[in-house]
Chains A and B, each alone.
Chain A
Amino acid sequence: MPSITDVNIAHLHLLLNHVPTVGSVVALGLLLLAFVRRDEPLKRAGLEVLFVIAVLTLPVYISGVGAQQKLADRPELSDTAIRVHQDAALAGFTVAEFAGFVAWIALWQSRRRGRAAGLVPAAALLTVVALLLMTRAANLGGEIRHPEIGTVAAVAGAPPVDTAQFVTSKISAIMVNSPWAWPASETVHFLGLSLSFGVLLAVNLRILGVMRHVPFANVHRLLPWGMLGFGTNLITGMLFFVGQPKQYIDSAPFYWKVVFLMIAGANFLYLTVFRKAWAPRDNALYGEWDASLADKAMAIVSLFSWLATIPQR
């Protein structure tokens, strides 16, 4: 049986790497249009796109590290050029995640206040910064195969530079050498896991018909706590991955973990923008406390996906 790790990770990276930059432009366009037209649903759509980009940027970064591991000994590629690109990508990834996080809070808040308030400009600003950083990362990435367009001295065969200067190397050194960094991050990762699990369990169970006399809007109130756990685990999880990429990049459970995280992220967005959870108090939908069969199917798939993110290696 073919394993998920047989996928050509370098090609996957080339396929996915356009999503963050192109997607950010689309999201900024939607937000701008929403601002000009004063169109609240359009603004929400822009925020939703930002969250989706934040989720999809994770496999972009991970497949990039995978490509690096697979192509490391090709003589025609410059290790320095790859590392310069990786550092730039980590910066872009980090800001894109923050943009997605702020966009999510704005989205969640607009359910409670009826409109997305002051956080929308913050999300847009972070996206502009992320776009600049990711465009730079994309250019540096292009230079790996096309050194002739390059501005850095990243030609294959050039004398190697001190790799300790790169941010990824510094993070890795701390994670591997510090006696407490790895255990402490693991502990926080487990606490975050439990928190996001509990919240997602409660909200998905509500969709499945448990607590059926409680309106969706009331359960919606719990979601930020789930997002807190999710965000904590993205940070600690990335510390492990940047710290010891070799440990994960050939592991089939890790690949599946990323796949299930995508589904779990989609579930999170759905629970946030779920139509009934957004019904105003005087609307018939507010009192309609049963979810559709499709929603229930989604809740089951999601609960399974959340559990399936756990297996390690």
Chain B
Amino acid sequence: MGVLAWLESLPLSVWVHESPSVWAQPTVLTLHTMGMGVLVGACWVLDLRLLGISRNIPLSAFRWVFSTVAVSLSVNVVTGALLFAQRATSLGLAIPFLIKMLLVVASVATLVPLRSLVLRSDPGECEVSGSARVLAIASIVAWSGAITAGRLLAYLVP
């Protein structure tokens, strides 16, 4: 508990929480939402492709997804850490928050095998294995769950 209280008392956390400035809470939250849209959207486009939409686009064409993920995930780790720190004592042990974190980790975990699949595929290769399809479904479900848990946090953890 001491760590959470310390996190919340950091000057930066207090500023994000208390400052009336538009650059504090509103901007951090907006960046977190933008990052979410780009991050989840890029993953979903790849998932849709793996499930058979636009099946004539070769897998190797989807390398951009992973640089996009790298940028948007970084934005969301930083903004997410700020949003967490300012409310660390109420969020830290809240079940909905822990579920959200678990789902985010699970979603990102699906990206690891998908990344090597895309990077290693030959130019022009369009075949998708059954296990890649399962990963795509897992990615869609886990990201949807993470978004749902994240949105409901505002209502479940006052």
Q: Please, which residues of chain B bring their CB within 8 A of the CB of A187?
A: 147-148, 151-152
Contact B64 A194 (CB under 8 A): no
Q: Is the beta-carbon distance between B151 and A194 smaller than 8 angstroms?
A: no
Asked if B43 lies at the interface with its beta carbon under 8 angstroms from chain A, I say yes
Contacts of B97 in A (CB 8 A): none
Q: B147 to A199, Cβ gap below 8 A?
A: no
Does B57 have its Cβ within 8 Å of any Cβ on chain A? yes
Q: Does A197 contact B (CB under 8 A)?
A: yes
Main secondary structure of the interface of A (DSSP, over half): helix
Say whether B37 faces chain A, with CB atoms less than 8 Å apart: yes
Main secondary structure of the interface of B (DSSP, over half): helix
Instruction: Verify B54–A219 contact, CB threshold 8 A.
Output: yes
Tell whether, in the assembled complex, residue A201 and residue B42 are in contact, meaning their CB atoms are under 8 Å apart.
yes
Which residue in chain A gives the minimum CB-CB distance to B67?
A210
Instruction: With both chains docked as a complex, state the minimum distance between the C-beta of B52 and any C-beta of chain A, in angstroms.
Output: 11
- A205 an interface residue at 8 Å Cβ cutoff? yes
Chain B window 43-64, contacts with chain A (Cβ cutoff 8 Å), 1 for yes, 0 for no: 1110010000110111001101
Is B54 touching A221 in the complex (CB atoms < 8 A)? yes
Contact assessment for A310 and B151 in the assembled complex, using a CB-CB cutoff below 8 Å: no
Contact present for B68 and A201 (CB under 8 Å) = yes
> Which residues of the other chain, B, contact A186 by a CB distance below 8 angstroms?
151
Within 8 A of B (CB), among A173-203: 183, 186-187, 190-191, 193-202
> Interface size (A, Cβ < 8 Å)?
29
Given A183-B155, A198-B42, A198-B45: A191 and B147 within 8 A (CB)? yes
Contact B45 A199, beta carbon cutoff 8 Å: yes
Give the nearest-CB partner of A180 in chain B: B155
Out of B44, B56, B151, which one reaches A198, CB within 8 Å? B44
Contacts of B143 in A (CB 8 A): 194
State whether A190 touches B147 (Cβ < 8 A). Answer: yes
Judged by a CB distance under 8 angstroms, whether A218 is at the interface is: yes
**A152 in the interface (beta carbon within 8 A):** no
Given contacts A195-B44, A201-B45, A210-B64, contact A307 B34 (CB under 8 A): yes
CB distance from B135 to the nearest CB of A (A): 17
Interface positions, chain B 65-81, Cβ under 8 Å from A, are 68
Residues from chain A with Cβ under 8 Å of B150 in the complex: 190
**A191 vs B56: C-alpha distance when bound (angstroms):** 26
Nearest A residue to B61 via CB reads A211
> Is A222 touching B151 in the complex (CB atoms < 8 A)?
no
**8 A Cβ contacts from A212-240 to B:** 213-214, 218-219, 221-222, 225
A interface residues with partner B (beta carbon < 8 Å) = 183, 186-187, 190-191, 193-202, 205, 210-211, 213-214, 218-219, 221-222, 225, 307, 310-312
Closest 4 pairs between A and B when the two form their complex, measured CB to CB: A198-B41, A197-B41, A194-B40, A197-B37
Residues of B with Cβ closer than 8 Å to A? Answer: 26, 30, 33-34, 36-38, 40-45, 48, 53-54, 56-58, 61-62, 64, 68, 123, 143-144, 147-148, 150-152, 154-155
- A selection of 9 A-B contacts at a CB cut-off of 8 Å is A187-B147, A190-B36, A194-B41, A194-B147, A197-B38, A198-B41, A202-B42, A205-B64, A219-B54
